Structure 1
Amino acid sequence: MVSVRNGNESERSRKLLLGIGFWVQGLRCFPWMGVNFFLKDGMRVDPSTLQILQNSANLPMVAKPFYGILSDSFYIFGQHRVPYIALGAFLQAVSWVTIALFAKSDISFLSITFYLLLGNLGASIVEVANDAIVAETGKQLALSKNSKPSSSGELQSFVWMASSVGGVMGNLIGGIAIDKFSTQLMFLMYGILLSLQFSITLFIRESSLDLPKSPSQVGFRKQLSELLVALKKPTIYYSIIWFAMSYAVIPALTGTMFYYQTQHLKIESSLLGISKVFGQAAMLLWGVVYNRHLKSVPPRKLIAAVQISMAIFIISDVLFVNGVYRSMGIPDSLYVVVFSGFLEVLYFFKILPFNVLMAQLCPPGCEGSVMAFVMSAIALAFIVSGYLGVALASYVGVTGDDFSGLPRGLLIQAVCTLFPLFWSSCIPDVKSKGKKKEN
């Protein structure tokens, strides 16, 4: 009875810590919506400068493996997950509150760049620590004899839904707040929310989470060595390489589609915001469906199904650009809200089953560094995808005023999306209890 009670208390503590953490991180779209308007209207920066800042601010995300190794190897007051979550929340709170306080004055471009970098550094640290807890707990549940057959993916689904709820709320509230309040107030509101997260985290002891015990505290070099050993496992490095390449080989045409929708079709910005909300709602629904019905499906099969669905929706975009749906009586605005919003988030659907897979394959003691390496590889893959998209748009002759080559570009994009399926065997089949099924 005592062990059951302790187990329930540990589960509640984990869900409180992770639920708040992932929800707050999902809300990051709220202040960033304010940043874009503040830079455009308040600081009068040109579009290229805005884009440079948006990409530069994500640089801390690339160093996630470093934060993962650090949290795996360096303990703070005998804890190596919760203190990093508190630290990350604190850095973000300082960043957004400072921007809010000084935004009304003549804040320099370099200053706001620094504080946004600081905020994303804090966000990266929080995400790494949270992902490590999810991976550790998922592995523990998968290997537990007393756990349900599909319980290993339950926590992943929970945090996925928490993040999606935050994204839905952030886009909805942000769309309203940008017209009703100042951007400075938006920054301050999010900074206060992060301060509350920091305060709550301080009262949670890592021992209450019932995380797997590490054999001993190891140094940074030792942890780096263990990460390299883990990455040398064929099931891990083949999976990560394939997963990253499945994104990198797809030339992203999101910028081109944005110009096509806003400049050519004259779609209102409010409808584009609703489209993002619809996409976040779809991600939330995906978490629910996965948790209830798809956890027992082999990851390889599920990831391949998502990849095929992506190609189908891209082909649907070809029909959209050629005016097929318009001739059927479907308004362009309806297609953009529903189909374009869904395709935008469909790219992320396969991350959930892949995280469950990696939690099962990851060796004990380096969950944080391995999961951080995975997310860093995905981030790098998206960068490569973006560069390929620029090259593809140039190849098919798409410009800001001429979209005649867009259908051909989308067809090439669809073919590239199906291309990784020929090597999907790199993703191992894993049984529900975490044992690999040999091919």
Structure 2
Amino acid sequence: MVSSKGVANSKIDDDDGGGDKLMRKVLGLGFSVQGFRCFPWLVVSFFLKDGLNVNPSTLQILLSSANLPMVGKPLYGLVSDSVYISGQHRVPYIAFGAFLQALSWLAIAISPSSISVFTISIYLLLSNLGASITEVGNDAIVAEMGKQPPSSTKHSQQPSSSGNLQSFVWIASSVGGVAGNLLGGIFISRLSPQSMFMFFGLLVALQFFITISIRESSLGLPKNPSIGIKKQLSELSAALRKPKIAYSISWFALSYAVVPLLNGTMFFYQTQYLKIDSSVLGISKVFGQATMLLWGVIYNRYLKSISPRKLISAIQATIAFLMISDVLFVRGFYRQMGVPDTLYVVIFSGFLEVLFFFKFLPFTVLLAQLCPQGCEGSIMAFLMSAVALAFIVSGYLGVALASYIKITGSDFSGLSLGLVIQASCTLLPIFWSSCIPEYVKTKDKRKD
């Protein structure tokens, strides 16, 4: 015989468990599609180089500038936190972001191959605007669930307090990245760029229709009272004045901004000078995304207990080490040892490209623990905005460095020196890594 109280508790457990499963499906879809964005962006680089004949500096400026909408993430986060649409403040924004992405990529797909650089730049900006709005909604859900205590029931388990949910979405994004780069590498020489843009446009259109069919109340999100944007801005300002949050975000953004990236130059070096096939670059990116997937599993199982400061500093040092390895690669050291250029590009270049993002997983887990209740979306959006701005600065510094040491699309004699400077700048943030807390304790969150 089962009491009515037991039946009620069982029903609550089932509802919570169903909400957790649906939430994971929504986040899994959202992050995997965002990871799959590398599929059209891989084509964009070749389309700009071969179709529109841009030089390395112009390519890097265009790709860096396309991230400008990401800088507006705090605004999107404030609106998402405080403005509800039909009683919802996460799902509608995710859907709207997917709609903008579908609109932009489908517009590029139906445009003539003689599209101007200015026009495609506008479409790419619109695409990243949609992506940034979607990411704000998804990140806010992860941050909100990350603040919930583990459930005491066996049927309903809130997994995110120990970083499990962050690892889950990291893995979902990596799976999307692996699929996107693998398919991109296979089809880039078999299909026209417009066909690949059309495919991704239809994919995000599908995400839009799936998302609008879901009610946010079914996800089991915590109930936060709706407050105005002015009040939300005040709370965000107060949160950012907390030393642990302010110093951590400042360090994280500067760790990217001080590094002059030479991605555009390296892309031209590999494709123009070494004549490496586009499919090899696709496989390289697949390898990199696979390591990101593996990193999510390893972190979740073995590394969560390690101090964030030590772990992030170790990643920073590893990035610098692999940049020095690139110097040896450009000077032909590995080639003389019998290592083919294609093998190095697949393994080491692919790994280095994604290693920059390894810091995100431990840092977002840390920040989710630091940020106050109610402004998770705003804090996470501010972080991603700061990082986006840092990448733009980094890209422009890379263009300035390439110009200073006279690297062009046909002359790569100064590339080794540029990589040495890049590696040296990468080591600098380690010297002020004390800005990152060693550990976060529950009592610290109430006092700070």
**What TM-score results when the alignment is normalised by the length of structure 1?**
0.90
Q: Where in structure 2 are the equivalents of 1:239-278 lying within 5 Å?
A: 239-278=248-287
Corresponding pairs, count: 435
1:112 positional shift: 4.4
In structure 1, what is the equivalent of residue 6 of structure 2? none
In structure 1, what is the equivalent of residue 3 of structure 2? none
In structure 2, what is the equivalent of residue 317 of structure 1? 326
1: CA distance, partners of 2:327 / 2:340 = 15
1: CA distance, partners of 2:419 / 2:114 = 44
* CA-based RMSD: 2.8
Match of 1:133 among 131, 137, 141: 141
Q: Where in structure 2 are the equivalents of 1:406-417 lying within 5 Å?
A: 406-417=415-426
1:237 positional shift: 0.4
1: CA distance, partners of 2:411 / 2:404 = 13
In structure 2, what is the equivalent of residue 122 of structure 1? 130
In structure 2, relative to structure 1, the CA distance for the partners of 1:199 and 1:109 (3 Å cut) is: same
Compare 31-40 and 232-241 and name the one that shifted more. Answer: 31-40
In structure 2, relative to structure 1, the CA distance for the partners of 1:255 and 1:231 (3 Å cut) is: same
1:348 positional shift: 0.7
1:15 positional shift: 0.8
1:126 positional shift: 0.3
Contact 2:60–2:395 (8 Å) recurs in 1: no
In structure 2, relative to structure 1, the CA distance for the partners of 1:45 and 1:419 (3 Å cut) is: closer
Q: Report the AA paired with residue 190 of structure 1.
A: F
1:221 positional shift: 1.4
Contact 1:360–1:434 (8 Å) recurs in 2: no
In structure 2, what is the equivalent of residue 381 of structure 1? 390
Q: Report the AA paired with residue 162 of structure 2.
A: S
In structure 2, relative to structure 1, the CA distance for the partners of 1:395 and 1:103 (3 Å cut) is: closer
Q: Report the AA paired with residue 173 of structure 2.
A: S
Does residue 393 (structure 1) correspond to residue 396 (structure 2)? The answer is: no
1:351 positional shift: 0.8
In structure 2, relative to structure 1, the CA distance for the partners of 1:72 and 1:391 (3 Å cut) is: same
Contact 2:239–2:245 (8 Å) recurs in 1: yes
Which secondary structure state, in structure 1, belongs to the residue aligned with residue 223 of structure 2?
Answer: coil
Match of 1:159 among 169, 190, 193: 169
2: CA distance, partners of 1:261 / 1:434 = 51
Contact 2:95–2:208 (8 Å) recurs in 1: yes
Contact 2:239–2:371 (8 Å) recurs in 1: yes
In structure 2, relative to structure 1, the CA distance for the partners of 1:53 and 1:265 (3 Å cut) is: closer
Which secondary structure state, in structure 1, belongs to the residue aligned with residue 163 of structure 2?
Answer: helix
Which secondary structure state, in structure 2, belongs to the residue aligned with residue 140 of structure 1?
Answer: coil
Q: Report the AA paired with residue 179 of structure 1.
A: S
In structure 1, what is the equivalent of residue 211 of structure 2? 201
Does residue 304 (structure 1) correspond to residue 328 (structure 2)? The answer is: no
Q: Report the AA paired with residue 121 of structure 1.
A: L
Does residue 424 (structure 1) correspond to residue 424 (structure 2)? The answer is: no
Q: Report the AA paired with residue 357 of structure 1.
A: L
Structure 1 unmatched runs, 5+: none
1: CA distance, partners of 2:370 / 2:12 = 27
What CA deviation, in whole Å up to 9, does each residue of 1:72-123 have, x standing for no partner? 11001111101111111122223333433x3259866655444433322211
What CA deviation, in whole Å up to 9, does each residue of 1:271-329 have, x standing for no partner? 22221121111111111111222122221111011011112212222222333322322
1: CA distance, partners of 2:103 / 2:159 = 43
Contact 1:431–1:437 (8 Å) recurs in 2: no
1: CA distance, partners of 2:420 / 2:171 = 32
In structure 2, relative to structure 1, the CA distance for the partners of 1:111 and 1:427 (3 Å cut) is: same
Contact 1:149–1:433 (8 Å) recurs in 2: no
In structure 2, what is the equivalent of residue 170 of structure 1? 180
Which secondary structure state, in structure 2, belongs to the residue aligned with residue 250 of structure 1?
Answer: coil
Compare 402-411 and 1-10 and name the one that shifted more. Answer: 402-411
2: CA distance, partners of 1:317 / 1:20 = 35
In structure 2, what is the equivalent of residue 57 of structure 1? 66
2: CA distance, partners of 1:120 / 1:70 = 18
Contact 1:361–1:434 (8 Å) recurs in 2: no
Compare 120-129 and 188-197 and name the one that shifted more. Answer: 188-197
Contact 1:314–1:414 (8 Å) recurs in 2: yes
Structure 2 unmatched runs, 5+: 1-9
In structure 2, what is the equivalent of residue 8 of structure 1? 17
In structure 2, relative to structure 1, the CA distance for the partners of 1:165 and 1:148 (3 Å cut) is: closer
Contact 1:99–1:112 (8 Å) recurs in 2: yes
1:69 positional shift: 0.5
2: CA distance, partners of 1:200 / 1:343 = 35
1:206 positional shift: 1.5
Contact 1:247–1:378 (8 Å) recurs in 2: yes
Counting aligned pairs with the same residue, the percent is 67
2: CA distance, partners of 1:150 / 1:40 = 43
**What TM-score results when the alignment is normalised by the length of structure 2?**
0.88
In structure 2, what is the equivalent of residue 328 of structure 1? 337
Compare 110-119 and 124-133 and name the one that shifted more. Answer: 110-119
Match of 1:182 among 180, 186, 192: 192
Which secondary structure state, in structure 2, belongs to the residue aligned with residue 90 of structure 1?
Answer: helix
Contact 1:13–1:204 (8 Å) recurs in 2: no
2: CA distance, partners of 1:290 / 1:27 = 22
1:207 positional shift: 1.7
In structure 2, what is the equivalent of residue 192 of structure 1? 202
2: CA distance, partners of 1:219 / 1:151 = 28
1:247 positional shift: 1.2
1:400 positional shift: 4.2
